[in-house]
Amino acid sequence: MAEEQLVTFSLGSEEFGVDIMRVQEIIRIPPITRVPKASEYVEGVINLRGNVIPVISLRNRFGMTRVEETDLSRIIVLQVQTKVFGIRVDAVTEVLRLESEAIEPPPPITLGMDAQFIRGVGKIGERLLILLDLDHIMGGETNHDVCA
């Protein structure tokens, strides 16, 4: 039986999941350098052991309001194809396994965010987990970034 292992995190009251195979590491928020003229959702760049990687604010990406950094705030460093980047989240919650059957396609009316970022919705009892489509979080957007 197929199952997926996910890293889950929260943004406000919503809970999200990403495929654990894409997660390189989870770090506390280091100093972030703003990048002028980059897309709004690009929070900036950070130094990850000598490599410069971009960080995306998921709140901004999903049109949510900004919040102050807390002790729980984290950056999840992801590797999508050959690209490494971080997503900033309110808190990382847990690592869990989810049966493939428990994953449903994204509902036609999404939770106020762009449907292209959502791969599906996972159900764990009463909990709803939004599964992110990582290829679109940044990859699909590179073209018009440049013109910004």
Partner 1 sequence: MGRDEDNKQGIELGEFLDFYLLDSQEQIERLGAGLLQLEKEGENIGLINDLFRSAHSLKGASGTMGFTPIVSLTHAAEDLLDRLRQGKIEVSLEMIDILLAVTDRVKAMLAQVEQRQDITVGFEDLVSSMRLLLNGESVDVSIASHPVEEVIETLSFVPLDFSLTLDEREKLNNAYSIGRAVYQVDVALESNTLMKAVRAVMATQVIEGMGTVIKLLPSVEELEAGTAESFSMLILSDESKEEIKRDLLEISELVEVIVHSYPNSEELGDLDKIPNEINKTIAEEKIKPISKQETAVIPKGSVKAVASPAAEATTGEGNTQVHTIRVDTVRMDNLINLVGEMVITRTRLVQIGLDLKAQYSTDGMVNNLNEANVYLGRLMNDLQESVMRLRMVAIGTVFNRFPRLIRDLAKKTGKEIDLVLKGEDTELDKTVVEVIGDPLMHLIRNSVDHGIESPEKRREAGKPEFGTITLNAFHEGNHIAILISDDGAGLDLDKIRQIAVSKGLVGEREELSERDVANLIFLPGFSTADVVTDISGRGVGMDVVKKALNNLGGMVDITTRRGKGSTFTIRLPLTLAIIQALLVEVGQEIYAVPLSSVLETLLVSREDIKTVGGLPMVQLRGNTLPLISLQEKFDLPAPESESGEVFVVVVGFGDKALGLIVDELRGQQEVVIKSLGDFLNNLPGIAGATILGDGKVTLILDIGSLLQDVLVNRKG
List residues binding partner 1 (CB under 8 A). Answer: 30-31, 33-38, 42, 44-47, 50-54, 83-85, 138, 142, 145-146
Contact 53, 77 (CB under 8 A): yes
Decide if 58 contacts 67 (C-beta within 8 A): no
In whole angstroms, the minimum distance from the beta carbon of 84 to partner 1 comes to 8
Closest CB to partner 1 among 107 and 140? 140
Cα dihedral across residues 61, 62, 64, 69: positive or negative: negative
Toward partner 1, which CB reaches closer, 36 or 105? Answer: 36
Query: At its nearest, how many Å lie between partner 1 and the CB of residue 51?
Result: 7
Distance (Å, rounded) from C-alpha 129 to C-alpha 122?
5
First to last CA, the chain: 46
- Taking the least distance from each CB to partner 1, the nearer of 88 and 120 is 88
In the complex, least distance from residue 24 CB atom to partner 1, rounded to whole angstroms:
14
